[in-house]
Amino acid sequence: MTKKKICSCGKRIPFNETCSCQLKSKIDRNQYQKEYYQKNKESLKLLSSKKWKNLRKLIIDRDNHHCQRCAIKFEVIELSDLQVHHIKPRIDYPELMYEESNLITLCKTCNLQLGTKGVLDFEPNEYKKVFDFNL
């Protein structure tokens, strides 16, 4: 008797096979990634430039090497998976790509949650109020 498994779509398939719905979603995902790259090719090239890499390091240094949203909104210091977020999306505002006032350090989770809405759900200036270190 062949072992079977139940796919998330509800189909029963042989244990060592992949369901057709999974193959379709992989094809859809690959197509989306290809279209995204074609649409954003120029913008993506800028993110691998030396100018961007230097600015990214400067912003992370400025923000004390932790996620500003986690610190302000959740009072947690997150140090891993740091990314530099464009407050106003670089796709809509390419002229602000390298503008320090438009950049903030976030962890990957916060960056994905904020997306490209162009607004923050916290006030960056509240940081000093939340963590007032008495040195």
Of 3-7, 56-60, 91-95, least confident by mean pLDDT is: 3-7
Tokens of 113: 């949650």
Looking at residue 127, its pLDDT comes to 54
- Cα–Cα distance between 127 and 135 in angstroms, integer? 16
- Average pLDDT score over residue span 57-73: 96
pLDDT surpassing 50 at residue 58: yes
Per-residue pLDDT of 11-33, as tens digits, reads: 888 888 888 777 777 777 788 78
- Average pLDDT score over residue span 24-44: 80
Looking at residue 135, its pLDDT comes to 45
Q: Which residues, at least 6 apart from 109, have a Cβ–Cβ distance to it below 8 Å? A: 81
Per-residue pLDDT of 103-116, as tens digits, reads: 999 999 999 999 88
Q: Where does the pLDDT of residue 36 fall: very low under 50, low under 70, confident under 90, or very high at 90 and above? A: confident
Choice between 34 and 65, residue whose per-residue pLDDT is larger: 65
Distance between terminal CA atoms of the chain? 70
Looking at residue 63, its pLDDT comes to 96
